[in-house]
Amino acid sequence: MMHAARAALVLLAVTLAAAACTGEDDAAPGPSAVATAERTATAEPTAPSTPTPTPAAAATDTATPAPTPRATTTARSTPAPTPTEPPVEEAPELPVTVTDVDGDEIVIEDVSRLVVLNGTITEIVFALGLGDRVVGVDATSTYPPEAQELPEVGVQIALSAEGIIALQPTLVLGTTFAGPPEVIEQIRGTGIPVLILPDYNTLETIEEKITRIASALGVPLRGERLAAESLAAIEEAIAAAASSEAEPRVAFIYLRGAHTQLIGGDGAGATSLIEAAGGIDVGVEAGVQGFMAITPEALVTANPDVILVITTGLESVGGIDGLLEIPGMAQTAAGRHRAVVDFDAQYLLGYGPRSGAALAELIAAIHAGSP
């Protein structure tokens, strides 16, 4: 069972790498920028003017002067205080000691030259304001766009130690997909710190992912702020999904041309999003672990209302028309209505700062036409 799950996750890593090689642009906005609070100025009080003396009246025909009106004082309202953002680090505060996925303690003293071996970690590093310290990335690092201009060290599952070492990093960051293991050990053997973190692939683990990376980089307060913004966007999207009474049945399909056509289930990476969007993952419902080959019988039995695919995978079979040629696909409710939704791999499955936006788009797509 563990081997099957590992194989399924490797398929996703290859998907991200393959998507990166197509040069597609992400249409979704990045993390929201932090607004800077304005200070409210307090007006200075105005000094009262001195009245001009009245000339003396003539001795004859003296008139009784009219009473002088009393000045009315207008109360000044006190302006409400303007909320301010909590302070964050101006620069990384180092050294820090962190624990990697194996429970080993790693001391990080310098984050001036980072090599990042995972697309979502790259996205988080940039969102934390440390993108100018990244000197190399893997092929899945497609966002933000400036990350694509950096030297590429290969695909995270098939790295070359020489290419990474040549960049003279002060820290290498990756997930358990980074490898092969002997390459990671070779890098560590040169004295370069390597921090390997778990492969967080659910909405529920985004907060831990962001804060753990931020702490390793010496900016924990920035991490707390970014995590809070990311979770707020996810919660807002989930609230929108709750307004729909429908529970669309969704099949996550992995495609790589005519020879790789799989249906995803538990552990395939999309379940957390599908369920948060108010849908039913038909692969999980059918008891699929990871991925399994598509069969006409399984498709017809599952009868999804919506097919969810990665954009590059859909292109590899010739678009929606090619997808519907897969035996059994056209006989499903999704096939009859051409209800096919495609997303960029990193955007959908990255589980990072943009997941709230991706979830909102998924909700709108799978609930289109629902009450």
Same-domain pairing of 288 and 191: no
Reading the chain (371 residues) residue by residue, the pLDDT tens digits are 444 444 455 555 555 554 454 443 333 333 333 222 332 333 333 334 444 444 443 334 444 444 444 444 444 444 555 556 779 999 999 999 999 999 999 999 999 999 999 999 999 999 999 999 999 999 999 999 999 999 999 999 999 999 999 999 999 999 999 999 999 999 999 999 999 999 999 999 999 999 999 999 999 999 999 999 999 999 999 998 998 999 999 999 999 999 999 999 999 999 999 999 999 999 999 999 999 999 999 999 999 999 999 999 999 999 999 999 999 999 999 999 999 999 999 999 999 999 999 999 999 999 986 65
Range of the domain at 108: 91-238
For residue 294, the domain's CATH number is 3.40.50.1980
Question: Same structural domain for residues 219 and 283?
Answer: no
In angstroms and rounded to an integer, the radius of gyration of the C-alpha atoms of the chain is 30
What is the reported pLDDT for 86? 77
Say how many domains are in the chain: 2
Is residue 76 situated within a structural domain?
Answer: no
Displacement of CA 92 from its chain's centroid (Å) = 22
**pLDDT value of position 57:** 39
Q: 318 is written with which tokens?
A: 């010739």
Those residues whose C-beta lies under 8 Å from the C-beta of residue 273, and which sit 6 or more positions away, are 203, 348, 355, 358, 359, 362
The neighbour count for residue 263, using CB atoms within 10 Å, is 23
Residue 148 located in a structural domain? yes
For residues 248 and 280, what is the distance between their CA atoms, to the nearest angstrom? 6
The Cβ of residue 70 has, within 10 Å, a number of other Cβ atoms equal to: 6
Same-domain status, 228 and 268: no
Co-location of 326 and 304 in the same domain? yes
Same-domain check for residues 124 and 225: yes
User: Is 98 part of any domain?
Assistant: yes
Task: Tell me: do 322 and 265 sit in the same domain.
Answer: yes
Record the pTM. 0.79
- Domain membership of residue 171 (yes or no) is yes
Tokens of 323: 């997808």
Q: Where does the chain show beta strands of DSSP type E?
A: 96-99, 105-108, 114-116, 134-137, 154-155, 158-159, 171-175, 194-197, 249-256, 260-264, 280-281, 291-293, 306-310, 340-343
Establish if 46 belongs to a structural domain: no
Same domain flag for 119 and 221:
yes
- Contact between 328 and 300 under an 8 Å Cβ cutoff? The reply is yes
What gap in Å lies between CA 95 and CA 323, rounded to an integer? 52
Same domain, 318 and 193: no
Output the pLDDT for position 11: 54
**Whether 103 and 122 share a structural domain:** yes
Residue at which a domain ends, from 217, 238, 259:
238
Please report the pLDDT score of residue 83 as a whole number.
Answer: 56
Q: Are residues 234 and 95 in the same domain?
A: yes
10 within a domain of the structure (yes/no): no
In a domain, 287, yes or no: yes
Residues paired with residue 310 on neighbouring β-strands, in sequence order: 343
First and final C-alpha spacing in the chain: 40
The whole-angstrom separation of Cα 317 and Cα 308 is: 14
Single out the residue in 238, 266, 281 at which a domain terminates.
Answer: 238
Q: Taking Cα atoms as reference points, which of 209, 198, 223, 192 lies closest to residue 107?
A: 192
Same domain for 113 and 221:
yes
End position of a domain, from candidates 238, 259, 276? 238
Type of residue numbered 61: D
Does residue 149 share a domain with residue 282?
no
**Whole-number Å distance between alpha carbons of 309 and 331:** 18
- Per the domain annotation, does 259 fall within a domain? yes
